[in-house]
A and B are shown apart, each in its own frame.
Chain A
Amino acid sequence: AQSVSQHNHHVILSEAASLELGCNYSYGGTVNLFWYVQYPGQHLQLLLKYFSGDPLVKGIKGFEAEFIKSKFSFNLRKPSVQWSDTAEYFCAVNAWGDSSYKLIFGSGTRLLVRP
């Protein structure tokens, strides 16, 4: 069965620090990859997604993620975080061939940005 690992469960940064959140998945075939974000008291919303093409994907609010197939990774990055980036971030993977309708989510990373 596919799985998604987010190794950093809690991250605390100061404003203007750089961010990298790790996401690794276990599946050897073609995948679609997503990052969702949940701001305090708000719905989950899509941050960015990768299906094919350029492995460096740019999303909303200055976030980007890089798909490295050889490492089964899809890490999320932001050069300079803001206090408003405080949220929980979820990586999600869809594995082709194992029901195209299902997304597998990671356990999430809580980011706290100190002003």
Chain B
Amino acid sequence: NAGVTQTPKFQVLKTGQSMTLQCAQDMNHEYMSWYRQDPGMGLRLIHYSVGAGITDQGEVPNGYNVSRSTTEDFPLRLLSAAPSQTSVYFCASSYRDMSTDTQYFGPGTRLTVL
């Protein structure tokens, strides 16, 4: 199993540009989530999904969109990038409810918005 994969690993955007961060898992996990990691702030939940077709907001959803058309994929879209979105983004998945089950994290995407 590849586990949780994320692409790209690094990305530089200009303010106002849009892009999609890709996340895929091959473990048949129902639960998937996106976090951002900022210095001194730990990981903050952006959006999560409890299954295909079902998504919900986390702590910091503004400026981000998600969709879950398949069990395997959970892309994160930045519609109009802002410097405040400069961060490291992690995707995670778990077989069951993330409150009780181990989450498996991807390698992260380091995003810089100029």
A residues neighboring B (CB under 8 Å): 4, 6, 9, 32, 36, 43-46, 49, 51, 90, 92, 94, 96, 100-108
A/B interface sample: 20 pairs, CB < 8 A: A32-B100, A44-B90, A44-B92, A44-B103, A46-B103, A49-B102, A94-B100, A96-B99, A100-B97, A100-B100, A101-B56, A101-B97, A101-B98, A102-B98, A102-B99, A103-B45, A105-B43, A107-B40, A107-B41, A107-B42
Q: Is B58 an interface residue (CB 8 A)?
A: yes
Q: In the complex the two chains form, is B105's CB within 8 Å of A44's CB?
A: yes
Known A102-B45, A108-B42; judge A32-B99 contact (CB<8 A): yes
Please measure, in the bound complex, the distance between the C-alpha atom of A115 and the C-alpha atom of B100, giving whole angstroms.
36
Number of B positions contacting A (CB below 8 A): 27
Cβ–Cβ < 8 Å partners of B106 in chain A:
43
A55 to chain B, nearest CB (A): 17
Cβ–Cβ < 8 Å partners of B50 in chain A:
101
Q: Is B29 an interface residue (CB 8 A)?
A: no
Q: In the complex the two chains form, is B98's CB within 8 Å of A103's CB?
A: yes
Cβ–Cβ < 8 Å partners of A106 in chain B:
42
Q: In the complex the two chains form, is A94's CB within 8 Å of B43's CB?
A: no
A22 to chain B, nearest CB (A): 14
A84 to chain B, nearest CB (A): 19
Q: In the complex the two chains form, is B103's CB within 8 Å of A103's CB?
A: yes
B74 to chain A, nearest CB (A): 14
